[in-house]
């Protein structure tokens, strides 16, 4: 990604993080105005699919700077967005048919909400981009519509003080913008974030990818040490935690993700507990031990993956997640340790010819 720089100004965009820094706010970047449309092409859809599959996650970027959508004039609305293609494309496709300015902030290819949480979609970057694009000379009004979920990074009063632009918080979802623009007020529903089945479903490929390598290694080791059924148990545990858990999230009992995960883990482990526990080829103590190993290990893995899903949801607080970590991680570790010990005892017994 290349950003044109003005000569003689201070800029350190070559540092490792690619951070741009402005010693004076307005002089750092003079970006030419670019043009965009409201049309989502096949290439865009392919890019969205790859982003959802976690392919080069941080490289789904658009060039930061000011864009013309349609044929905007001095009275046209100005919208802020992130330089993540899914964010930018959601905005421009929702605004199809509307003449507008889009100011894309450099969020390093991260969506609006996550970038706002980290401060890259933030007051400083917005102020810089307003100055660098010379927005004040292009529009006669002083209003910029920022997505509501950008608010954790933006202080409207500071933007107003530094640029004279007034931040107007638009709806959560870009698709509500045409309705919002009729009155410039959002209904309570437009202000609420949701987490529908579809919202959860699209996250599952990336969730699974995070655990894929671990799963493959664990399945391989188990295949050769304990047989194909044990390998299947490992794969089932990870699929349960990364795909089944997000899908079943609202209907699993209890509020805590760890306990929801433990409940799901027990359910996922039941077929394996039954098969291992009733294996006629094993002495009773070994059958009990292998059933216990399946129950404890699968439950520990599913609940740990469930806990890790907190960061993907739009509602868990840091205070709550921290409390969960301190309450349950030791329980999960205990279950995993006892389960692993049972597995090792079985493995050693097998090697020694006891079973």
Partner 1 sequence: MFDSYTKTSLSFDPALCINCRRCTQVCPHAVFTAGPTRVTLDRPSACMECGACALNCPVEAITVQSGVGCAWGMIGAALRGKDMDTESCCGGENGSCCGGFKTKQKTTVCDCGKKER
Residues that bind partner 1 (CB under 8 A): 10-12, 15, 17, 19, 21-23, 56-58, 107-110, 114-120, 122, 124, 148-149, 151-157, 169, 172, 186, 188, 191-193, 210, 254-257, 259, 307-308, 310-311, 313-325, 327, 329
Nearest alpha-carbon partner for 219 in 202, 194, 237: 237
Q: How far is the CB of 105 from partner 1 (least distance, A)?
A: 11
Q: Which is nearer to partner 1, 272 or 304 (CB)?
A: 304
Q: Ramachandran region of residue 8, left (φ > 0), alpha (ψ -120 to 50) or beta? A: left
Q: How far is the CB of 311 from partner 1 (least distance, A)?
A: 3
Task: Give buried/exposed letters for 211-242 (b at 16+ CB in 10 A, else e).
Answer: beeebeebbeebeeebeebbbbbbebbbbbbb
Q: If DSSP states are collapsed to H, E and C, what string results for 122-187? A: CHHHHHHHHHHCCHHHHCCCCEEEECHHHHHHCCHHHHHHHHCCEEEECCCCHHHHHHHHHHCCCC
Q: What is the radius of gyration, based on Cα positions, of the chain?
A: 26
Q: Which is nearer to partner 1, 141 or 191 (CB)?
A: 191
Q: How far is the CB of 296 from partner 1 (least distance, A)?
A: 19
Q: Which is nearer to partner 1, 34 or 155 (CB)?
A: 155
Q: Which is nearer to partner 1, 226 or 237 (CB)?
A: 237
Q: Which is nearer to partner 1, 241 or 343 (CB)?
A: 241
Q: How far is residue 170's CA from residue 191's CA, in Å, rounded to a whole number?
A: 8
Q: How far is the CB of 287 from partner 1 (least distance, A)?
A: 32
Distance from the Cα of residue 350 to its chain's centroid: 44
Q: How far is the CB of 317 from partner 1 (least distance, A)?
A: 4
Q: Which is nearer to partner 1, 198 or 318 (CB)?
A: 318
Q: Which is nearer to partner 1, 89 or 125 (CB)?
A: 125
Q: How far is the CB of 312 from partner 1 (least distance, A)?
A: 8
Q: How far is residue 226's CA from residue 282's CA, in Å, rounded to a whole number?
A: 13
DSSP string, 56-67: TGGG-B---EEE
Cβ proximity of 83 and 105 under 8 Å? yes
Q: Which residues contact 276 (CB under 8 A, 6 or more apart)?
A: 229, 287, 290, 291, 293, 294
Tokens 């017994």 found at: 349
DSSP β-ladder status, 34-36 and 65-69 = parallel
Cβ proximity of 246 and 201 under 8 Å? yes
Q: How far is the CB of 155 from partner 1 (least distance, A)?
A: 5
Tokens 């933030």 found at: 122
Q: Which is nearer to partner 1, 33 or 161 (CB)?
A: 161
Q: How far is the CB of 18 from partner 1 (least distance, A)?
A: 8
């Amino acid at each position: 990604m290349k950003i044109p720089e003005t000569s003689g100004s201070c800029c350190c965009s070559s540092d490792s993080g690619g951070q741009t820094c402005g010693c004076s706010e307005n002089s750092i970047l003079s970006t030419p105005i670019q043009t965009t449309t409201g049309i989502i092409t096949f290439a865009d859809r392919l890019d969205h699919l790859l982003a959802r599959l976690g392919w080069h996650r941080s490289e789904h970027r658009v060039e930061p700077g000011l864009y013309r959508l349609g044929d905007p004039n001095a009275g046209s609305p100005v919208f802020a967005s992130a330089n993540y293609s899914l964010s930018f494309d959601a905005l421009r496709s929702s605004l199809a048919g509307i003449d507008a300015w889009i100011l894309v902030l450099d969020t390093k290819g991260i969506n609006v909400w996550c970038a706002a949480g980290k401060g890259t979609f933030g007051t400083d970057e917005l102020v810089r981009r307003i100055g660098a694009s010379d927005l004040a000379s292009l529009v006669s009004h002083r209003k910029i519509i920022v997505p509501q979920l950008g608010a954790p990074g933006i202080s409207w009063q500071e933007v107003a003080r530094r640029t004279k632009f007034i931040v107007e918080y638009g709806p959560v979802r870009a698709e509500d913008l045409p309705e919002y623009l009729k009155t410039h007020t959002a209904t309570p529903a437009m202000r609420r974030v949701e987490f529908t089945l579809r919202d959860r479903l699209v996250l599952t490929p990336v969730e699974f990818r995070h655990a894929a390598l671990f799963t493959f290694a664990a399945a391989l080791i188990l295949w050769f040490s304990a047989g194909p059924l044990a390998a299947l148990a490992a794969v089932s545990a990870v699929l349960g935690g990364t795909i089944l858990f997000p899908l079943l999230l609202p209907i699993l009992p209890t509020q805590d993700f760890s306990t929801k995960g433990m409940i799901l883990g027990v359910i996922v482990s039941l077929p394996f507990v039954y098969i291992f526990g009733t294996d006629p080829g094993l002495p009773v103590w070994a059958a009990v031990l292998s059933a216990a190993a399946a129950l404890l290990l699968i439950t520990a893995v599913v609940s740990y993956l469930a806990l890790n899903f907190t960061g993907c949801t739009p509602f868990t607080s840091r205070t709550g997640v921290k409390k969960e970590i301190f309450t349950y991680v030791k329980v999960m570790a205990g279950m995993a340790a006892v389960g692993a010990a049972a597995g090792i005892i079985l493995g050693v017994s097998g090697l020694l010819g006891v079973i």
